[in-house]
Amino acid sequence: MPLYVQNVLGLTEHETSLYIVVGQLFTMLCVYVALAFVIKTMMARGHSGRVARGILGGGCVLFAGACMIAFVLLPGLPVKLTVSLLAALVLISFPIGSTVIGQITPTRHRAGVLGTYAALYGLAGVIGPFVTGLFADAGATEAAGLDNGLLFWGALTLVCGAVAIAFTRPERDAARLAARAAAESGVR
pLDDT digits (tens, 9 = 90+) for 42-84: 999 999 999 999 999 999 999 999 999 999 999 999 999 999 9
Q: How many CA atoms lie within 13 A of 147 on its CB side?
A: 16
CA–CA dist 49, 68 (Å, integer): 27
Q: What is the pTM of this model?
A: 0.88
The angle at the Cα of 88, spanning 121 to 135, to the nearest 5 degrees, equals 70
Q: What is the mean pLDDT of the chain?
A: 91
CA–CA dist 175, 159 (Å, integer): 27
pLDDT in tens, 114-152: 999 999 988 988 999 999 889 989 999 988 999 999 999
Query: What percentage of the chain reaches a pLDDT higher than 70?
Result: 99
Q: How confident is the model at residue 19 (pLDDT cuts 50, 70, 90)?
A: very high
Structure confidence at residue 121 (pLDDT): 86
CA–CA dist 4, 36 (Å, integer): 30
Q: Which domains does the chain have, with CATH numbers?
A: 2-180 (1.20.1250)
Cα dist from 183 to 86, 91, 179, 187, whole Å = 45, 36, 6, 6
Q: Which residues fall within 8 angstroms of residue 39, CB to CB, at 6 or more apart? A: 52, 53, 56, 57, 96
CA–CA dist 40, 101 (Å, integer): 16
Structure confidence at residue 83 (pLDDT): 96
